A and B are shown apart, each in its own frame.
Chain A
Amino acid sequence: MRIFDPHIHMTSRTTDDYERMAAAGVRALVEPAFWLGQPRTNPGSFADYFDGLVGWEPFRASQFGIRHHATIALNPKEANDPRCRGVLDLLPRYLEKDGVVAVGEIGYDSMTPEEDEVFAAQLALAVEHDLPALVHTPHRDKARGTERSLAVVDESGVAPGRVVIDHLNEVTVKLVRDTGCWLGFSIYPDTKMSPPRMVEILREYGLERMLVNSAADWGRSDPLLTLATGEAMLAAGFSDDDVDRVLWRNPVEFYGQSGRLDLSDLDGAQPTFAGNSILRGGS
């Protein structure tokens, strides 16, 4: 099984995770810029974080044979802090990077006027930089947040096929299915979505434009739940080809729209200095 995790926060994960992921078949992933648990208080803090997403983290991933890409944005939570608004001015630089394949995570947390403004501004950046967009839907008041997100996307002029609405569930999937947007599902140990529930959704709504991710981060989460979902699909009678479509070809198609997805040489080439103590960061 080859797996492309379209949403995982590797900055928060250990090298043990990279090893387990590689062994499980994860060959590529996308790390969206998001909240770090501890709120940041100035744009410089974001610049360093973005640097990691296009610098150190892809290097770390490469040590395990995993291709790393990123999405860059000011996340909805911190969009509410006026001290962080200057991050919008940094974005044009980072949205030009080769490893950046979408604008994200953007969207709503508490649906404030500040979030409205920053969401719309970043959809405009997606148009300007010719990138797809990754839209986070809120954990609270999710259905209304999803509807409102779809309305903002509709007004933005970004084609629905270049947008993924993420963290969907049994209720919100219905709102997105017929919009033309892609549908993202975050499989968590005990919240958002589980492998058996995901299989039911795939049965009911089909495989088209469906993206399954672990969204693993600094909270209780599991980077191997993509694999678990693939196994649950097989156990439920889906074919190997179906699993490959959901766990590999769909994310490749979605992020491939950026024109920057680089999956070349995933089989053979090793990093220049592989097989050395750099696996421990030079210790």
Chain B
Amino acid sequence: MKTLAELRAALGERPWLDEAGAQVRADPGAIGRLVPAAGRKCGGAPPDEAPGWGADVAARAVLLGALPAERVAAEAGEAYRYGDAAEKRAVLKALPLLPIGGDAVPLLHDAIRTNDTRLVAAALGPYATHLDPPAWRQAVLKCVFMGVPLSAVDGLGERADAELAGMLASFAEERRAAGRDVPADALAVLESLREG
């Protein structure tokens, strides 16, 4: 996992982002307009040093990281609440890098309730260690159901348990009964759980 400092370094020279970060430090409320604008100002392909992070996602994470610690949970919550899909995804990706403990778990629940595959996938990154086991298993099953690749699920190998195996097995049974395919990555997880 990248740190905020590594993300900032990976973005290279970004005068707009430095100025925006300074604004957030001076006036945390300013983040409400800067997080949306970061998409236009810092958009583009993932930096070479931070694969999997679009430049806009990394820039938004850096802005959230500029918030004073006591404001992070509230402002990240607002940025998510009023964010478009890309902003919501950026907040979810940033959560494990922010000093908020488990305060942002409700954001994960919101994202997992959606049918937007990008948000469901982003909710199952490293911050999902804060999800309780039943919620986490349901979210993993939802990924399989929606066709989100299980490579999106952080720590799957360590956290998958017999209960999840049972859920995946009954999902596979229903799919087969309907004459439909079962995603290969789900079968692989099921197989490894049975072996274990």
Interface residues of A (CB under 8 A from B): 47, 51, 54-56, 58-59, 90, 92-94, 96-99, 259-260, 272-273, 276-278, 281-282
Other A-B pairs beyond A59-B116, A93-B36, A278-B115, 17, CB < 8 Å = A58-B85, A59-B85, A93-B33, A94-B82, A96-B36, A96-B37, A97-B87, A98-B39, A98-B43, A99-B84, A273-B117, A276-B147, A277-B145, A277-B146, A282-B142, A282-B145, A282-B146
Name A56's closest neighbour in chain B (CB-CB): B116
**Which parts of B130-148 form the interface with A (CB within 8 Å)?**
142, 145-148
A273 to B148, CA, bound (A): 7
Question: Are A98 and B84 within 8 A (Cβ)?
Answer: yes
Question: Does residue B118 face the partner (Cβ distance < 8 Å to A)?
Answer: yes
- Measured CB to CB, the closest approach of chain B to A277, in angstroms, equals 6
Which single member of B43, B118, B148, B149 contacts A59 (CB below 8 Å)? B118
Question: Are A54 and B84 within 8 A (Cβ)?
Answer: yes
Question: Are B40 and A282 within 8 A (Cβ)?
Answer: no
Chain A residues with CB below 8 A from B88, complex form: 55
Chain A residues with CB below 8 A from B118, complex form: 59, 272
A58 to B40, CA, bound (A): 17
How many residues on chain B are close to A (CB under 8 Å)? 24
Chain B residues with CB below 8 A from A97, complex form: 36, 84, 87
Interface residues of B (CB under 8 A from A): 32-33, 36-37, 39-40, 43, 82, 84-88, 114-118, 142, 145-149
A17 to B117, CA, bound (A): 22
- Measured CB to CB, the closest approach of chain A to B170, in angstroms, equals 17
* Max chain A Cβ within 10 angstroms of own Cβ: one of B33, B115, B149: B115
Question: Are A272 and B36 within 8 A (Cβ)?
Answer: no
Chain A residues with CB below 8 A from B33, complex form: 92-93, 96
Question: Are A281 and B147 within 8 A (Cβ)?
Answer: no
A47 to B80, CA, bound (A): 13
Chain A residues with CB below 8 A from B40, complex form: 98, 259-260
Chain B residues with CB below 8 A from A273, complex form: 117, 146-149
Chain A residues with CB below 8 A from B37, complex form: 96
- Measured CB to CB, the closest approach of chain A to B14, in angstroms, equals 17
- Measured CB to CB, the closest approach of chain B to A101, in angstroms, equals 12
Chain B residues with CB below 8 A from A51, complex form: 82, 84
A45 to B146, CA, bound (A): 28
Chain B residues with CB below 8 A from A281, complex form: 115
- Measured CB to CB, the closest approach of chain A to B32, in angstroms, equals 6
Question: Are A47 and B82 within 8 A (Cβ)?
Answer: yes
- Measured CB to CB, the closest approach of chain A to B185, in angstroms, equals 12
Chain B residues with CB below 8 A from A58, complex form: 84-85
Which single member of B84, B116, B147 contacts A277 (CB below 8 Å)? B147
Question: Are A55 and B36 within 8 A (Cβ)?
Answer: no
Which single member of B36, B82, B142, B146 contacts A276 (CB below 8 Å)? B146
